[in-house]
Amino acid sequence: MIPEDIENRARNGLATREDALKLLIENPFELFDLADRLRRESVGDDVTYVVNRNIYITNMCKGGCKFCSFNQRDGYILTIPQILERVKAAHEAGATEVCILGGFIPKLDLDFYLDIVKAIKKEYPNISIHGFSPMEISHAAGVCDISTERAFRKLKKAGLGTLTGTSAEILSERVRGMICPNKITTEEWIETIMTAHKADLVTNSTIMYGHIETWEEKIEHLLILRDIQQKTGKFTELVPMPFMPYNNIIGEKMMREGKYGPGGIEDLKLHAIARLLLNKHIPNIQASWVKLGKKLAQVALNCGANDLGGTLMEDQITLASGGKNGEYLPSGEMEWIIGEIGRRPVRRDTYYRECK
């Protein structure tokens, strides 16, 4: 049984690191059940999803992250007309959001990003643009010798709706030193994301887990996010992203040692612990069907999650690392998955507002 004081703290948004560690050694069903109740109390029985499309503007990246299967040395960068073509297809398929993703290319300056945003907004003023990583923008600002805050303000003014909360991975210097030594540090990530929030940009938040990090480090990561949220209130959601070990350096090394990616039980625990620690702070926990698979994503909806993510249409990154859950989940199947567990499917926009 879960001690009453832990349950009370969780209910009031005050669960501690020790509480989380304690629940991890409990019977997992107790943990899942608590997370499920907290989810119901905070967001009810609605399960949201967004009709969107990922657009990869490039497949190149100089980031050198050892967990990535997507970075090419020589690859493409989409031109603006090519990007607009993809936005058009998304728009015609009923998407309310395009998610613009790419790699870290040091030579790109802020104008590159501004031009993309402006061009999309000009043609499709009603589509939300979600995209870019905090690290990319902070770097592009540096190239142009302007402050990061100013860069975010310019992007917002140009029409960027929301920024992604990626490149967070695990916010621990020990872990980052091993999996992405060239990436911004924990301190820099926190500062950059808070700067974005200060520039009035809303972002999501992410955790990429299941590689070399410990549970303590995962919990610490979630508490850092909670801390930021208490100060800025500008995170819309948490997207847990299980690590996939195929075709990348970290994964190959793990597999040689007989270790693989996280099993479904760890995935469910992570979603439940996230609900526990973020309750009252970040209301939305996403079960990513691309990473978890459709079946397990539905189970995660009973273990703390309340959002199924996007219909997507393409997810090159997951595909490259051995994901095989498909690249497109039609609204009809989303609603089936949600309705089958007695919940109400709700189509949302990027800001978690119901689409009428």
Binding site for another protein (CB under 8 A): 1, 27-30, 32-33, 36, 242, 246, 255, 258-260, 262-268, 292-299, 302, 322, 324-325, 332-333, 336-337, 340-341
State how far the Cα of 129 lies from the Cα of 239, in Å rounded to an integer. 18
Indicate the residue among 112 and 246 with the shorter CB distance to another protein.
246
CB of 92 to another protein, least distance (A): 22
Nearer residue to another protein within complex by CB, 149 or 335: 335
Q: Answer yes or no: are the C-beta atoms of 207 and 170 closer than 8 Å.
A: yes
Q: Quick one: 317 or 337, whose CB is closer to another protein?
A: 337
Two structure tokens written together for 287: 């079960």
Q: In whole angstroms, what separates CA 199 from the centre of its chain?
A: 20
Residue from 132, 129, 204, 219 nearest 171 by CA = 219
Q: Indicate the residue among 142 and 326 with the shorter CB distance to another protein.
A: 326
Whether 306 and 338 have beta carbons less than 8 Å apart is answered as no
Matching residue, tokens 């100089």: 62
Place of tokens 């397990």: 296
What is the identity of the amino acid at 238? L
Nearer to another protein, 184 or 308 (CB): 308
Q: How far is the CB of 38 from another protein (least distance, A)?
A: 13
Q: Which residue lies nearer to another protein by CB, 140 or 337?
A: 337
4 is an annotated ligand-binding site residue: no
Q: How far is the CB of 178 from another protein (least distance, A)?
A: 20
Minimum distance from CB of 184 to another protein (Å)?
30
CA angle 179, 184, 186 (to 5 degrees): 85
67 is in an annotated binding site: yes
Structure-token pair, residue 148: 């990061």
Half-sphere exposure of 201 (CA within 13 A, CB side): 35
Nearest distance, CB of residue 352 and another protein, angstroms: 23
Least CB distance from residue 319 to another protein, whole Å?
10
DSSP codes of every residue in 152-206 = HHHHHHHT--EE---S-SS--HHHHHHH-TTSPPHHHHHHHHHHHHHTT-EEEEE
Least separation in angstroms between CB 266 and another protein: 7
The dihedral built from the CA positions of residue 115, 119, 120 and 121, taken in this order, carries a sign that is positive
Whole-number Cα distances in Å, 89 to 127, 131, 354: 12, 18, 22
| Beta carbon nearer to another protein, 311 or 325 | 325
Q: The tokens of 47 are what? A: 């399960």
The answer to the question of whether 144 is labelled as a binding residue is: no
Annotated binding-site residue? 133? yes
**In the numeric block, which tokens belong to residue 206?**
């992410």
In this structure, are residues 346 and 352 in contact, taking their beta carbons and an 8 Å threshold?
no
For residue 180, say whether it is annotated as part of any ligand binding site: no
| Shortest distance, position 263 Cβ to another protein, whole Å | 4
| Complex with another protein: residue 134 or 210, whichever CB lies closer | 210
Residue 11: count other Cβ atoms within 10 Å of its Cβ: 17
Binding-site residues for (3R)-3-methyl-D-ornithine sit at 133, 169, 288
Binding-site residues sit at 61, 65, 67-68, 133, 169, 288
Binding-site residues for [4Fe-4S] cluster sit at 61, 65, 68
Binding-site residues for S-adenosyl-L-methionine sit at 67
